[in-house]
Amino acid sequence: MGFCTKCGGKVEGKEAFCTGCGNQVGGEAPAKAESVAAPPPVVAPTYQPTVEIDKRREVLGTWAYIGASILFAIPLIGLIFSIVWAASGSVNLNLRNYSRAYLIMLLIGIVIGVVFISIFAAMAFSFLGSGAWQEILNNANFDY
């Protein structure tokens, strides 16, 4: 016969638990049901990309194009600005491409102008060199 270590009650030799308090007093202890805490749910990491806003890629508004067109119309200043903006890597990409297009169109206009002036000059010199101009002046009646 023994005594319970928790409440001091009498316990028979074959009993494994105290009849008074239910404390285990002898024999093998039954396996305790361990309470296993569920692990925290696995959450996929959310990656927030660090996006740096590139000012060069912003869309230009209508007034920016109008302002650039007015600036390009000023003879020497427009040419300087268009060359600087077309060659610059730090200016807005839309403005850079607009400047490049302006310079290309300007060069095409200059080439077409030179061709037409050359054709006109060749016609004028051939007309003056043939003597037809002198005949027109000699046969003209300037009666007033």
- Per-residue model confidence as pLDDT tens digits over 55-104: 888 888 999 999 999 999 999 999 999 999 999 988 899 999 999 999 99
Q: Which of 103, 86, 105 is nearest to 95 (CA)?
A: 86
Residue 11 has phi, psi (to 5 degrees) of -130, 130
**CA-CA distance, 128 to 134, in Å (whole number)?**
8
Angle separating helix axes 93-129 and 132-139, nearest 10 degrees: 60
Residue 104, CA atoms < 13 Å, CB-side half-sphere: 8
> Averaged over 25-40, what is the pLDDT?
65
Chain-centroid distance of CA 140 in Å reads 72
Predicted TM-score (pTM) of the model is 0.53
